């Protein structure tokens, strides 16, 4: 059975995007709000450890607008080149009823996301990452997420898209790891207690 991991950058007040889908705060610890090399490497390691990535429409559009050619950008660092190549090579599933085509080792699912994620989890294989508030929220409500990785950036945005969705019942978690990055950015990883 595959493990499903939901991880994203999040504001101190719990949002993955500010009002208007603004994620300009999300790096937070480097010049021009870009992530430090250390934090970028941590995210790259997470992506490399994942055998499959599951995306909602908005996150897919964000990722696919840059990473297919991220390794060809004139100022790309070695870490960014590695991330772009891994992103292209990793199997991806996009859940959307409004997108009509995808590329870069990606499959489109237009039907029941929870049913498909349940099917994918039941397969043999390594961990899957899930991203996008709506998609992850559906998986969260269905009890499908095994691990949460929050990279908390010390900024308050006052509203927007929350990391956590409204739930019907409590989800008990065990703290697995905490790590601090430059700029006061803190990663915490929790496993779902079953």
Fold of the 4-192 domain: Dihydrofolate Reductase, subunit A (3.40.430)
- pTM here is 0.92
Which pLDDT score is estimated for 194?
Answer: 85
CA dist 13 to 116, 145, 153, Å? 31, 21, 9
Angstrom distance (rounded) from CA 40 to CA 15: 19
Residue 176 in contact with residue 191, Cβ under 8 Å? yes
Which pLDDT score is estimated for 23?
Answer: 87
CA dist 46 to 49, 66, 157, 164, Å? 5, 19, 26, 20
Long-range contacts of 97-102 (CB under 8 A, 24+ apart): 98/57, 99/57, 99/60, 102/60, 102/64
Of the candidates 177, 176, 115, 187, the one whose C-alpha atom is nearest the C-alpha of residue 144 is: 115
Q: Could you tell me the mean pLDDT of each successive run of 10 residues in the chain, 194 residues long?
A: 96 95 73 71 93 94 90 90 93 95 93 97 97 94 97 95 92 96 94 93
CA dist 27 to 23, 39, 114, 149, 157, Å? 8, 9, 30, 15, 14
Which pLDDT score is estimated for 33?
Answer: 52
- DSSP characters for 161-187? EESSPP-SS---EEEEEEEEEGGGEEE
Which pLDDT score is estimated for 31?
Answer: 40
Which pLDDT score is estimated for 34?
Answer: 61
Domain ranges of the chain: 4-192
Of the candidates 31, 101, 35, the one whose C-alpha atom is nearest the C-alpha of residue 64 is: 101
Angstrom distance (rounded) from CA 94 to CA 54: 6
Angstrom distance (rounded) from CA 175 to CA 25: 25
């Amino acid at each position: 059975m595959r493990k499903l991991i939901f991880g994203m950058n999040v504001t101190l007040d719990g949002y993955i995007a500010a009002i208007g889908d603004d994620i300009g705060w999300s790096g937070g610890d480097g010049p021009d709000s870009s992530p430090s090399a250390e934090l970028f490497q941590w995210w790259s390691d997470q992506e490399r450890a994942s055998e499959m990535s599951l995306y909602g429409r908005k996150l897919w559009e964000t990722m696919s607008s840059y990473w297919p050619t991220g390794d060809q950008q004139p100022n790309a660092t070695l870490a960014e080149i590695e991330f772009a190549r891994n992103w292209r090579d990793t199997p991806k599933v996009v859940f959307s009823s409004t997108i009509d085509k995808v590329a870069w080792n990606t499959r489109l699912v237009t039907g029941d996301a929870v049913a498909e994620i349940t099917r994918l989890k039941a397969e043999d294989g390594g961990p899957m990452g899930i991203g996008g508030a709506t998609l992850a929220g559906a998986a969260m409500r269905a009890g499908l997420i095994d691990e949460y990785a929050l990279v908390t950036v010390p900024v308050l945005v006052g509203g927007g898209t929350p990391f956590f969705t409204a739930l019907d019942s409590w989800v008990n978690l065990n703290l697995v790891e905490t790590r601090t990055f430059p700029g006061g950015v803190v990663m915490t990883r929790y496993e779902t207690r079953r």
